[in-house]
Amino acid sequence: MIDTVLVPLLEATVRTATPLMFAALGELITERAGVINLGLEGAIIAGCLAALLTAQIGGVPLGFVGGAIAGLAVAALFALCVVTLRTDQVITGTAVTLLALGATGTIHQSLVDVAAPSAAIETSGPVALPILARLPIVGPVLFDQPLATYALYLVVPALAWWLASTHAGLALRATGERAEAAAAVGIAPARVRWAAILIGGMMGGLAGAALVLVQVGGFNEGMSAGRGFIAIAIVVLGRWTVRGTVFGALAFGGAFALQYLFQTSGSSVPYPLFLALPYVLTLVLLAVQRGERSMPAGLAKP
Amino acid sequence: MADALVLSGVRHSFGPTVALDDAALRVRRGTVHALLGENGAGKSTLMRVAFGLLLPDRGTVEVDGRPVRFRTSADAIASGIGMVHQHFLLVPALTATENVALGGRGLLRLPRVVARVQALAERSGLATDPSLRVDRMSVGAQQRLEIVRALAHESRILILDEPTAVLTPEEGASLLAWIRQFVDAGGTAILITHKLREALAIADDVTVLRRGRTVLAGPRSSVDEPILVDAVTGGAARGGAPPLPTSSPRATAPILALEKVDVIDDLGIARLLDATLEVHAGEIVGVVGVEGSGQRELLRILAGRLRPTRGRVIGPRRVGFVPEDRLADALVPEMTLTENLLLAEAGTRSGRLDWDAVTARTASLLTSADVRAPGPLALARELSGGNQQKFVVARERSLSEAALVVEHPTRGLDIGASGRVWEELLRAAREHLMAVVVYSPDLDEVRAIADRVIVCFAGRIRELEGGAGGGDRARLARALLGAD
Amino acid sequence: MDALAALWDGAFGSWYAILSATMVRATPLLLVGLAVALAFRAGVLNIGAEGQLLVGASAATAVSLVLSGWPRPIAILLMATAGALAGAGWAGIAAWLRRRFAVLEVISTLMLNFIAAALVSWLVRGPLQEPTGVYSQSANIAAAARWPLLISGHRLHLGFLLGLLAAFVAWWVLARTAVGFRVRLVGASPRAAASAGGVDVARTVTGVFLVSGALAGLAGASEIGGVTWSLYEGLSPGYGYSAIAVALLARLDPRGVIVTALLLGALDAGAAAMQRSAQVPAVVGQVIVATLVLSVLGVQALRDRRLLQRGRTSAPEAA
């Protein structure tokens, strides 16, 4: 039972959570600076297509670079509108996502023959880490994963450390809470927000790259399938902390893995409802955690 | 003795509004320097220039004899200047330690900052809990933290903007004692204040600003209370004020009345205590008080916008109210004047609206109150500030037949526009026989239009004897500044 | 050039293109666009129209499945009401969370969109699945609950008429009634509305939220009754998100929404035709819409900034 059901389920959870975690950590950085980026979905889909195109030229490593750059470009458009022109964050983000979804679809269709099967590439498969992978349960779940997942093992602690233990991280948090107080000690809030949005978009692009290069091995229109919005839910569920975001991504990954498991096993469990659970949990948490004020006070304010 | 900070020939304007015009300040090292002036005299603006938060249009800044040019407050902090803001600039969700560390570069070594905060708190006697979040701190603790932060930045020159305004008298006294210690240990302090007695008690030197200019500067020994009052208020009554109103008819029963009213805010601080007041038909009652003295609450109680914690309020069902921030609280700038007229009835109307009728009403209001506007369908933001204010006053007067409460009626208006707003207020009292209450931080304004004057100080109100016109200006100024 | 011609032909080239493609596609956009426009007018950032539409469609389907044999007008009225009520209820959750717990509606409505999608996904595999249990969709609704076509031989249905009616009513209420005036005030300046007008801002916001949800829910019922006759997962290709573009390009004016909904419907229909005949991807339409929205936002921001500066220059002046 453990080996046949639980381990594959947990392994799938971690694998499914990988792109979500990239995107959610990016959104976390952006939101801690006081900006909610609904254009993240657009950064992810741009990352997907760019990763596919660049990977066809230079392999998986270049694919990740391409994905990151595409995410960065989409985020730059969003930052230009929201920070420099001071447009509404919510509407701008939605429009940027719409634009990126449409543009990637257009580019993809004009590059490939629609009738032919979607151009596929070799995915970067799991790499078992010596010794660690042989540990019971933990081994296959955590240490027989693709390289992108291992990258997160470095990114997560690094980000947590950066937020808590550097002056730049503190400046980011202060900007999201009260920009004028940050400005009073010489921090430039606009510059901080630009940087936070760019980093967030880059992480979104990496999420798209991971989706294409690790999981799917090809591109479909709209394949980001709302992961950018899910990332926003994850950040809320994780109460705007790095640790919470990791667990939030795993919760969503787990819900997807579970749903997939039930779907393929033909069980009578109402599995689509599992998909709703993390969102319901997010809403409940939002309601009950009021007063603790974990949300950046300046979120979504111009 | 060398000069710690010298500002000279400073001019700063917000658009065409000149906040500072040839302001100067010379602060000797190792002294407490009091910077005095009325609201809007330019004290805070001058200090924001000194702290790098504003770039002056003209003028020079010297620190320790070297000319400097601050682009941001980080430059000022690096030059050894610290500022304790009147509205604290702390991040509520961060701890004391994190707020102190904010603005640095590289690695954040919190234990080190904690130790530093503790050491500074101990050495300075300013008790500060390093791990407490700012939003859980009392106002006094937040202020101590702002000072500790300035000390942590190794500030040798400390600017304090109205530091005692938010403190209890005991806290205020111990803060002043601390400032003296800081200066005796080689520091330099600049104290922005409204309160003459405070300045006289602690300062070594005094500078007075009036309308953006330095009008008096000298050692404490060269000034006394009357000299300062004169400098702060400009001596003789200023030109351009309208003739004093004729004496008012006194009705038999008051229209507005307060009986032993207390207002305690959410934090448990008493804003207004034991206020008793009657306002009769046809008279204008002026209210004066420096910021935070209880006048804001007094006006809102009279206007029916605030419920008293204790006591009795008598007034008509609807009282016209003109709030201080007219563009945010009284008007919707992006809507037409017709819509802005109906704004005042929006909460009580129902069913269909007859816009033609409202437009006609607006047009006649514009004519009767002499509001210069392209027409009733012009947007509110298209009007000049003076006409916006006349429109609001006329609207509120038209809504209530009995009483009108007005807060700082001429804020941001020039003398010509002010005069026309005053005429409108006088007409409300004399022609429409309304009970009118006007608060203004400008003593000349209150003297010009009020029949009687109520002084607010530290939450208590009392009437100035002899009325506004009869009382002499210096006495009014003294009462306002708590020097009576 | 060929592509443009194909686009035009697909949208307006024939009576069929107009009455069976453009206007049919414009129908849900019209209703949902009104929902968003109304909410935005009151400063309510309801980006949950997608979820409200899905829940409305689900409720309308559930009700219509059991209406066979009922008189047609009553059946249609019942299913439309069910859709509107369900949409309002779904929006009501977000409204309640905002009022009671100060939860940002941007986040809550977004979450509710996904919950609604999961709900539909479950319904079409569970309680509402068609009798054979093979396909993930509901059975076709009872004939009595199917919405009448407006012009025989064309697919244009009652929903479009309802949309026009709703647009007119929304415009009339906003422009001519006290309730509508309060809505506009709360959107333009909640502070002035509360302070100078004594308006109950929280109550107004809740009311607008519910009406907005009802309109989106009605759009869902209209799609089921007039176009698909059954519930399935891909029912809405993101109408709730396109509606933001519809509302914004109409500058939140209900009459403008009629125009922009038709425009986006035409773009949608034309792009589909363009893809068939000129091999130009249909999603180009989406790019055009998004670029338009961003341009409008940018131009508005620049104009506001200039206004702000001009306002500053004329701050104190002679009266």
Are the beta carbons of A102 and C47 separated by less than 8 Å?
A: no
Contact (CB, 8 A) for B152 and B117: yes
State the average pLDDT over residues B109-130.
Answer: 90
Nearest to B87 by CA among B263, B271, B291: B291
Q: With a threshold of 0.90, tell me whether the complex ipTM lies above it.
A: no
Which pLDDT band holds residue C123 (cuts at 50, 70, 90)? Answer: very high
Whole-number Cα distances in Å, A243 to A24, A165, A227, A277, B133: 11, 15, 19, 20, 21
Q: Three-class SS of residue C296?
A: helix
Amino acid at A41: E
Q: What is the DSSP letter of A166?
A: B
Chain B contacts to C (CB-CB under 8 A): 14-17, 305, 321, 323, 328-335, 339, 342-353, 355, 372, 381, 384-387, 390, 412-414, 416-417, 420-421
Which pLDDT band holds residue B243 (cuts at 50, 70, 90)? Answer: very low
Round the average pLDDT of chain C to a whole number and report it. 90
pLDDT at C190: 93
pLDDT at B236: 41
Are the beta carbons of A174 and B102 separated by less than 8 Å?
A: yes
Which pLDDT band holds residue B467 (cuts at 50, 70, 90)? Answer: low
* pLDDT tens-digit map of A102-152: 999 889 888 876 555 556 777 777 888 888 888 888 878 888 888 889 999
What percentage of chain B carries pLDDT values higher than 90?
40
Q: Please state, in angstroms and rounded to a whole number, the distance separating the CA atoms of residues A292 and B59.
A: 47
Q: Which residues are registered as beta bridge partners of A128?
A: A144
Q: Please state, in angstroms and rounded to a whole number, the distance separating the CA atoms of residues B477 and B227.
A: 12
CB interface of A with B, residues 149-168, below 8 Å: 164-168
Contact (CB, 8 A) for A174 and A196: no
* pLDDT tens-digit map of C213-272: 999 999 999 999 999 999 999 899 889 999 999 999 999 999 999 999 999 999 988 888
Q: Please state, in angstroms and rounded to a whole number, the distance separating the CA atoms of residues C31 and C23.
A: 12
* pLDDT tens-digit map of B187-229: 999 999 877 888 888 999 999 998 888 999 999 999 888 888 8
Are the beta carbons of C315 and B16 separated by less than 8 Å?
A: yes
Backbone angles phi, psi at B243, to 5 degrees: -60, 150
Q: Please state, in angstroms and rounded to a whole number, the distance separating the CA atoms of residues B139 and B145.
A: 10
Tell how far CA C270 is from the center of its chain.
20
User: Is B357 buried (19+), middle (13-18) or exposed (0-12) by CB count in 10 A?
Assistant: exposed
Amino acid at A77: L
Does C318 have pLDDT greater than 70? no
Are the beta carbons of A85 and C286 separated by less than 8 Å?
A: no
DSSP element (H, E) containing C64: helix C49-65
State the average pLDDT over residues A217-238.
Answer: 89
pLDDT at B473: 64
Does B248 have pLDDT greater than 60? no
Q: What is the DSSP letter of B345?
A: T
Q: Which of B321, B322, B332, B408 to mutate to test the interface with C (most CBs of C within 10 A)?
A: B332
Nearest to A209 by CA among A113, A98, A124: A124
Contact (CB, 8 A) for A29 and A238: no
CA B301-B303-B305 angle, 5° bins: 65
Which one of C47, C114, C305 has the shortest CB-CB distance to A226? C114
On whether any CB of chain B is under 8 Å from the CB of C233, the answer is no
pLDDT at B238: 41
* pLDDT tens-digit map of B137-178: 888 889 899 999 999 998 999 999 988 877 777 778 888 999
Which pLDDT band holds residue C53 (cuts at 50, 70, 90)? Answer: very high
Q: Which residues of C touch B339 (CB under 8 A)?
A: 181, 184
Which pLDDT band holds residue A81 (cuts at 50, 70, 90)? Answer: very high
State the average pLDDT over residues C201-212.
Answer: 96
Q: Which residues of A touch B73 (CB under 8 A)?
A: 183-186
Looking up tokens 């904690």 gives B114
Least confident range from A35-44, A127-136, B400-409, C299-308: namely C299-308
Contact (CB, 8 A) for B9 and B59: yes
Nearest to B81 by CA among B18, B160, B21: B160
Contact (CB, 8 A) for A175 and A192: yes
State the average pLDDT over residues A248-255.
Answer: 91
Which one of C182, C195, C319 has the shortest CB-CB distance to B387? C319
State the average pLDDT over residues C147-170.
Answer: 93
Does C316 have pLDDT greater than 80? no
- Determine the residue of chain A that is closest to B111 in CA distance: A165
Q: Give me the DSSP letters along B29-50.
A: TT-EEEEE--TTSSHHHHHHHH
Q: Which residues contact C271 (CB under 8 A, 6 or more apart)?
A: C7, C10, C280, C282, C283, C284, C285
Q: Which of B71, B91, B146 to mutate to test the interface with A (most CBs of A within 10 A)?
A: B91
Contact (CB, 8 A) for C18 and C181: no
Looking up tokens 């006088």 gives B426
CB interface of B with A, residues 100-159, below 8 Å: 101-108, 110, 135
Nearest to C44 by CA among C1, C2, C85, C99: C99
Which pLDDT band holds residue B286 (cuts at 50, 70, 90)? Answer: very high
* pLDDT tens-digit map of A159-188: 999 999 999 999 999 999 999 899 888 899
CB interface of C with B, residues 151-180, below 8 Å: 176-179
Which pLDDT band holds residue B244 (cuts at 50, 70, 90)? Answer: very low
Q: Which residues of B touch C182 (CB under 8 A)?
A: 346-347
Counted residue by residue, chain C has a size of 319
B partners (3+ CB pairs within 8 A) are: A, C
User: Is B471 buried (19+), middle (13-18) or exposed (0-12) by CB count in 10 A?
Assistant: middle
Going by their DSSP bridges, the two strands B460-463 and B452-457 should be labelled as antiparallel
User: Is A222 buried (19+), middle (13-18) or exposed (0-12) by CB count in 10 A?
Assistant: middle
Closest-CA distance, C241 to chain A, in angstroms, reads 7
Contact (CB, 8 A) for A225 and A208: no
Are the beta carbons of B103 and A165 separated by less than 8 Å?
A: no
Does B41 have pLDDT greater than 90? no
Q: What is the DSSP letter of A5?
A: I
Which one of A165, A170, A185 has the shortest CB-CB distance to B73? A185
Q: Which of C36, C54, C111, C119 to mutate to test the interface with A (most CBs of A within 10 A)?
A: C111
Which pLDDT band holds residue C284 (cuts at 50, 70, 90)? Answer: confident
Q: Which residues of B touch C314 (CB under 8 A)?
A: 384
State the average pLDDT over residues B423-448.
Answer: 86
Q: Which residues of A touch C288 (CB under 8 A)?
A: 102
Nearest to B24 by CA among B199, B216, B233, B195: B216
Q: Which residues are registered as beta bridge partners of B173?
A: none
Q: Which residues of A touch B89 (CB under 8 A)?
A: 180-181, 184-185
Q: Which of C50, C287, C302 to mutate to test the interface with A (most CBs of A within 10 A)?
A: C287
Backbone angles phi, psi at B427, to 5 degrees: -65, -40
Burial B180-212 (b: 16+ CB within 10 A, else e): eebbeeebbbbbbbbbbebbbebbbbbbbbbbb
CB pairs under 8 A between A and B: 75
Round the average pLDDT of chain A to a whole number and report it. 88
pLDDT at C220: 97
Which one of C111, C126, C290 has the shortest CB-CB distance to A283? C111
CA B98-A23-A81 angle, 5° bins: 80
Does C307 have pLDDT greater than 70? no
pLDDT at C312: 38
Q: Three-class SS of residue C148?
A: coil
Q: Which of C32, C93, C106 to mutate to test the interface with A (most CBs of A within 10 A)?
A: C106
Does A291 have pLDDT greater than 60? no
For residue B11 the two structure tokens come to 């001019």
pLDDT at B472: 63
A partners (3+ CB pairs within 8 A) are: B, C
- Determine the residue of chain B that is closest to C179 in CA distance: B350
Q: Please state, in angstroms and rounded to a whole number, the distance separating the CA atoms of residues C239 and C36.
A: 11
pLDDT at C313: 35
Which pLDDT band holds residue B352 (cuts at 50, 70, 90)? Answer: very high
Q: Please state, in angstroms and rounded to a whole number, the distance separating the CA atoms of residues A16 and A207.
A: 11
pTM for this structure? 0.85
* pLDDT tens-digit map of B54-112: 888 899 999 998 999 998 888 999 999 999 988 889 999 999 999 999 988 889 999 99
3-state secondary structure B295-343: HHHHHHHHCCCCCCCEEEEECCCCCEEECCCHHHHCCCCCCEHHHHHHH
Which one of B321, B330, B350 has the shortest CB-CB distance to C192? B330
Exposure on the CB side of residue C194, measured as CA atoms within 13 A? 13
Are the beta carbons of C199 and B346 separated by less than 8 Å?
A: yes
Are the beta carbons of A99 and C294 separated by less than 8 Å?
A: yes
State the average pLDDT over residues C299-306.
Answer: 80
